Amino acid sequence: MEKFVYSFNEGSKDMKSLLGGKGANLAEMTKIGLPVPFGFTVTTEACNKYYDDGEKLADTVVEQIFEKLDELEKVSNKKFGSKENPLLVSVRSGAVISMPGMMDTVLNLGLNDETVEGMAELTGNERFAQDSYRRFIQMFGDVVLEIPKSKFDKVFEAQKKASNCEFDIDLTTEDLKKIIVDYKKIIKEETGKDFIQEPKEQLMEAVKAVFRSWNNERAILYRKLNNIDSSLGTAVNVQSMVFGNMGDTSGTGVAFTRNPATGDNGVFGEFLVNAQGEDVVAGIRTPQPISEMEKIFPEVYKEFLRIAELLEDHFKDMQDIEFTVENEKLYMLQVRTGKRTAMAAVKLAVAMEKEGLIDKKTAISRIEPNQINQLLHPKFDEKELEKAEVLAKGLPASPGASMGKISFTAAEAEEAVAKGEKVILVRTETSPEDLAGMVAAEGILTARGGMTSHAAVVARGMGKCCIAGCSTIEVDEENKVLKVGNLVLNQNDFISLDGSTGTVYKGKIDTIKPELSGDFGTIMKWSDEIRTLKIRTNADNPRDTKTAVDFGAEGIGLCRTEHMFFEEERISTVRQMILADTKEEREKALEQILPYQKGDFKEIYKVMAGKPVTIRLLDPPLHEFLPHEGEEIKQLSKQINVPYEKLLSKVEELHEFNPMLGHRGCRLAITYPEIAVMQTKAIMTAAIELKKEEGMEITPEIMIPLVGMEKEIAFLKKVIIDTINECFEKEGVKLDYLIGTMIEIPRAALTADKIAKDAEFFSFGTNDLTQMAYGFSRDDSGRFIDDYKNKGIFEEDPFQTLDQEGVGKLVEMAVELGKKTRPNIKLGICGEHGGDPKTIEFCHKVGLDYVSCSPFRVPIARLAAAQAAVKAEEK
């Protein structure tokens, strides 16, 4: 019989896919002898079975749960449902990949009208028993019965007000009893049934609720944002309760073994006396820093530090720990690898290598390539900061600088961003419902909550600037005003946030480029030592080229020439070229464009200082350079002195039903070879002049776009070589050069052996290759790709991460065929995918020489390429 339930002493950290992250690590902590309340885990397979069976718990699963429950009763020496000595449990979800805040936990399960009396007697603490019961009914009502939480909150707040209590701990036993009566009324009203009194029934309902929560909206959104496979399923952990709400000798807390925001050494976290569960993160009372525990429970604190260190040594990484103190005894409730900012990730990786905890390969593998994006982005200009007016100070919850207009709700933020505005989401505190607004906003500011509040955790995960617990501001979401003392700001006002210091500034503040030395430099250096893929950049002007070189680019993989055509002074000459009736007229116009193009290439070559530069011949259809609207055409006709009718008829003549598959790429140059001639001249003479003037050796790589057949490239290669030889003769200087092609049409991939006869390099243009392999227009597919994702047809957008199965097969085939004809053929990728870590891993695997990506992604690509090399070695 298949085993669906494991006791904590039957598992280990290596069983995450079966037991979920939480369950596997609870088992691991049990195994190494840490104080973990005993319990068992219902596996992810049971969850998948639940869905396979049409959302029903199979009998075998139920039976196995009861068997383990018997065992738990024996071990804990308590009895489920017993009045004298009741066993209470928590029911906790735990997916394979931790999904913070996405799934809900039920605590104190097993309480009913009888056992609550028993708990009171047993502990001699009636208030505690009633407090636990009201918590249980509330959580059960919310999570299992799916009654809006606000209904319970309303009753709770009303009672607090009636009894004149500032905090929940001020409520008396009698108050709590009244609350319980009202809670039960809510449940009866909402479900038509009484609150379930039978503990076993409570347990089964809770287990099913956890399985259901795998497919709640928040969980689905989180999985979508983080590309988590929806077929993994969640496990359920059933664990005997320990109580942090037993009075002043108890408490609960969360901590990291090192600072997750900065990477600094020393435990970091928060703690709350006389509290249970998520009180710490819910911002109910402001928690104390973990270090204060030393004064309150010195012995417990010592033990806590010992365990924190032990866990870090054991897992060899920074850990995120949840714990509870019951009557001055410490219990561990959760451990997992701590989420961290990019800054902390880099610092921790370097520090742990220095400490000898991990090696360099592990160190570079610890950093999520996409995450270092935040380090590459601007910070506030110090000088601007001095002038800036400080509005308030809060907790530096997630570093970075951001600026925008105030939005008071997630929906507002989304709307404003859709209109192209930058916004800061300002809330009293955030909840999972705000997720979409947080994604849209530049930064997040909350009045309440600590370093581990929802806003802080989620923002750090997204690499978004966040200031939490900014208690001197008052957020009035209803009237849409933000008050700071006497100052009142509203929706149209700008504010700036420095998430690294927690400072809120009035107005807009300019930002500057980040510093890329120190630990970041070390990680880049190690990455460069480890990787074998070269990293190039896609750049078509000197500024982007410089940025990329500063970020470590080793060449240009794609220099597009069409952007140069659009510049102010040139576009009219370009238009004259397009409107020309004869070859002679066209050549005359091209003659005027030539010096501009040459100048552009020269500037770019200079920045690259001898590194390889691949320049692509003109690619887009010519109509893109002409206006399409009647008014604009009229204006242009006056401007360039061409009769309106003639202009209009040319625009109509160039109109294509499907320009993506139309007269573009090499097809243009086949019709008008003079365009290729002019561009070749510009490419070569720019290099020749630099050789003459500065002795700089440049090997231009001329790339022909959109080739699908051998004869296309053969035809153009001859035009290009003839032009080059003419240049050499005229200038009296020779240079090395390469002529190659993009592989972006499926036919080119299929006949790559023939194309390689003429092509000295292949550069995979995976944007077009994806478009044509799928038959998806890349300009229109955005409209339905989300539907594909929502319906589980796509895990990822194939325009962002290469589809290895299909498009990747074309790439592999072309690599193989190309090498057969030309063993030393140079191979690279220049589509958007070139900066995507998963695609980079694929490129390494299939043996490309380089990837080319946008300048800001160069460091990400360096790291990803190194990780790919490490992974390949491990296999």
The one catalytic residue among 454, 623, 833, 844: 454
Q: Candidates 237-245, 261-269, 288-296, 470-478 — which segment interacts with ligand ADP by CB under 6 A?
A: 237-245
Pick between residue 323 and residue 505 the one whose CB is nearest to Mg ion. 323
Q: Which long-range contacts (CB under 8 A, 24 or more apart) does 31-37 make?
A: 32/310, 32/314, 34/307, 34/310, 34/311, 34/332, 35/329, 35/330, 35/331, 35/332, 36/8, 36/331, 36/332, 36/333, 37/239, 37/240, 37/241, 37/242, 37/331, 37/333
Q: Which does 498 bind (CB under 5 to 8 A by kind): Mg ion, ligand ADP, none?
A: none
Q: Which of residues 604-663 bind ligand ADP (CB under 6 A)?
A: none
Q: Which does 547 bind (CB under 5 to 8 A by kind): Mg ion, ligand ADP, none?
A: none
What is the maximum alpha-carbon separation in the chain? 104
Minimal distance in Å, beta carbon 145 to Mg ion? 18
Minimal distance in Å, beta carbon 135 to Mg ion? 14
Minimal distance in Å, beta carbon 463 to Mg ion? 21
Assess contact for 692 and 728: CB atoms under 8 A: no
All residues at 6 or more sequence positions from 29 whose CB lies less than 8 Å from its CB, including other chains: 36, 311, 332, 335
Q: Which of residues 731-750 bind ligand ADP (CB under 6 A)?
A: none
- 597 scored as a contact of ligand ADP (CB under 6 A): no
Pick between residue 279 and residue 803 the one whose CB is nearest to ligand ADP. 279
Cα–Cα distance measured from residue 753 to residue 814, given in angstroms and rounded to the nearest whole number: 7
Pick between residue 101 and residue 662 the one whose CB is nearest to ligand ADP. 101
Which of 202, 334, 547, 576 is close enough to bind Mg ion by CB under 5 A? 334
Q: Which does 394 bind (CB under 5 to 8 A by kind): Mg ion, ligand ADP, none?
A: none
Which of 13, 49, 68, 92 is close enough to bind ligand ADP by CB under 6 A? 92
Measured CA distances, 370 to 256, 366, 836, 838 (Å): 23, 12, 8, 10
Nearest to 597 by CA among 681, 668, 669: 681
Q: Which does 107 bind (CB under 5 to 8 A by kind): ligand ADP, Mg ion, none?
A: ligand ADP
The one catalytic residue among 47, 830, 843, 853: 830
> 275 φ, ψ to 5°?
-150, 165
- 142 scored as a contact of ligand ADP (CB under 6 A): no
Residue 224 CA to chain centroid, in angstroms?
10
Q: What is the DSSP string of 689-702?
A: HHHHHH-----EEE
The full length of the chain comes to 875
Q: Which does 828 bind (CB under 5 to 8 A by kind): Mg ion, ligand ADP, none?
A: none
Cα–Cα distance measured from residue 371 to residue 400, given in angstroms and rounded to the nearest whole number: 13
Q: Candidates 116-124, 234-242, 298-306, 813-821 — which segment interacts with ligand ADP by CB under 6 A?
A: 234-242
Which of 44, 64, 76, 105 is close enough to bind ligand ADP by CB under 6 A? 105
Q: Tokens at residue 190, please?
A: 């909402």
Minimal distance in Å, beta carbon 221 to ligand ADP? 16
Q: Which does 252 bind (CB under 5 to 8 A by kind): ligand ADP, Mg ion, none?
A: ligand ADP
Q: What is the DSSP string of 13-80?
A: GGGHHHHHHHHHHHHHHHHTT-----EEEE-HHHHHHHHHTTS---HHHHHHHHHHHHHHHHHHT-BT
Helix axes 44-52, 16-31, angle to 10 degrees: 150
Minimal distance in Å, beta carbon 253 to ligand ADP? 8
Q: Which of residues 15-54 bind ligand ADP (CB under 6 A)?
A: 37
Angle at 750 between CA 747 and CA 752, to 5 degrees: 100
> 426 φ, ψ to 5°?
-115, 120
- End-to-end distance of the chain based on CA atoms, in angstroms? 33
- 241 scored as a contact of ligand ADP (CB under 6 A): yes
Measured CA distances, 246 to 120, 297, 689 (Å): 11, 15, 83
Catalytic status, residue 454: yes
Q: Which does 37 bind (CB under 5 to 8 A by kind): Mg ion, ligand ADP, none?
A: ligand ADP
Which of 25, 125, 130, 252 is close enough to bind ligand ADP by CB under 6 A? 252
Assess contact for 274 and 251: CB atoms under 8 A: yes
Which of 11, 23, 277, 834 is close enough to bind ligand ADP by CB under 6 A? 277
Judged by DSSP in three states, 212 sits in helix
Cα–Cα distance measured from residue 212 to residue 227, given in angstroms and rounded to the nearest whole number: 20
Nearest to 283 by CA among 206, 397, 171, 180: 397
Minimal distance in Å, beta carbon 624 to ligand ADP? 52
Q: Which of residues 99-138 bind Mg ion (CB under 5 A)?
A: 101
All residues at 6 or more sequence positions from 868 whose CB lies less than 8 Å from its CB, including other chains: 531, 533, 840, 841, 843, 844, 845
For 290, half-sphere exposure in the C-beta direction (CA atoms, 13 angstrom radius) is: 26
Pick between residue 334 and residue 852 the one whose CB is nearest to Mg ion. 334
Q: Which of residues 265-324 bind Mg ion (CB under 5 A)?
A: 322
x/- string (CB under 6 A) for ligand ADP, residues 305-344? -----------------x-x--------xx----------
Minimal distance in Å, beta carbon 246 to Mg ion? 20
> 726 φ, ψ to 5°?
-60, -45
Q: Which amino acid is at 142?
A: D
Assess contact for 612 and 761: CB atoms under 8 A: no
Catalytic status, residue 563: no
Minimal distance in Å, beta carbon 99 to Mg ion? 9
Q: Candidates 235-243, 486-494, 798-806, 834-842 — which segment interacts with ligand ADP by CB under 6 A?
A: 235-243
Which of 242, 344, 535, 633 is close enough to bind ligand ADP by CB under 6 A? 242
Residue 271 CB: number of other CB atoms within 10 A? 25
Minimal distance in Å, beta carbon 615 to ligand ADP? 53
Q: Which does 76 bind (CB under 5 to 8 A by kind): Mg ion, ligand ADP, none?
A: none
Q: Which does 233 bind (CB under 5 to 8 A by kind): ligand ADP, Mg ion, none?
A: none
x/- string (CB under 5 A) for Mg ion, residues 60-99? ----------------------------------------
Give me the active site residues, please. 454, 830
Q: Which residues contact Mg ion by CB under 5 A? A: 101, 322, 334
Q: Which residues bind ligand ADP (CB under 6 A)?
A: 37, 90, 92, 101, 105, 107, 239, 241-242, 252, 277-278, 322, 324, 333-334
